[in-house]
Amino acid sequence: MEKITKISNSPEETFNIAFEIASKLNHPCLIGLTGEIGAGKTCFAKGFAEGLGVKELITSPTFLGVSESYSGKMPFIHIDFYKKVVPKNLLDKFLGDKAVVLIEWIENFEAIFNEKLNTDINVLIQYLKDKEGLIIDNMREIIVEM
């Protein structure tokens, strides 16, 4: 896997980084997003969806768990494992449907089922801190492995 590190200075930049990756995608794949609360995972998911040509509004699926969009160049399944983790068989159904599946809090799946998912793209979004250890407003480090 190739590892790319980018600095984002705004939600728009995070959106655009995701948009660019998705717009070059031409096959179904599994994307795992990791990062603390509020890091920007859903922001990244929105950019990713738009890069696939998805027309539906992408919102945080935290309480629904899964949202499906079919208006882009490939089906887009947006999953959030923060509160609820879907079982492997449902996940396998989505993966078998030739969809682009993006999962926020993917590490929760691995912690609960003690099984690693076979991701094609891993994204880690981290807050950046100044010399005093304080979080720098609007700044994030985005590490993409693909």
Ligand X SMILES: Nc1ncnc2c1ncn2[C@@H]1O[C@H](COP(=O)(O)OP(=O)(O)OP(=O)(O)O)[C@@H](O)[C@H]1O
| Site residues for ligand X per CB under 6 A | 8-11, 13-14, 35, 37-43, 60, 62, 82, 104, 138, 140
CA 76 – CA 136 distance, rounded (Å): 32
Residue 127, binding choice from ligand X, Mg ion, none, Cβ under 5 to 8 Å by partner class: none
Residue 126, binding choice from Mg ion, ligand X, none, Cβ under 5 to 8 Å by partner class: none
Instruction: Confirm or reject binding of residue 60 to Mg ion (CB under 5 A).
Output: yes
Instruction: Confirm or reject binding of residue 41 to Mg ion (CB under 5 A).
Output: yes
Site residues for Mg ion, window 79-108 (CB under 5 A)? Answer: 104
- Residue (99 or 102) nearer to ligand X, CB: 102
- Residue (50 or 104) nearer to Mg ion, CB: 104
Burial string for 118-135 (b: 16+ CB within 10 Å, else e) reads ebbbbbbbbbeeeeeeee
Residue 43, binding choice from Mg ion, ligand X, none, Cβ under 5 to 8 Å by partner class: ligand X
CA 71 – CA 69 distance, rounded (Å): 6
Q: How far is the CB of 51 from ligand X (least distance, A)?
A: 15
CA 145 – CA 120 distance, rounded (Å): 8
Residue 140, binding choice from Mg ion, ligand X, none, Cβ under 5 to 8 Å by partner class: ligand X
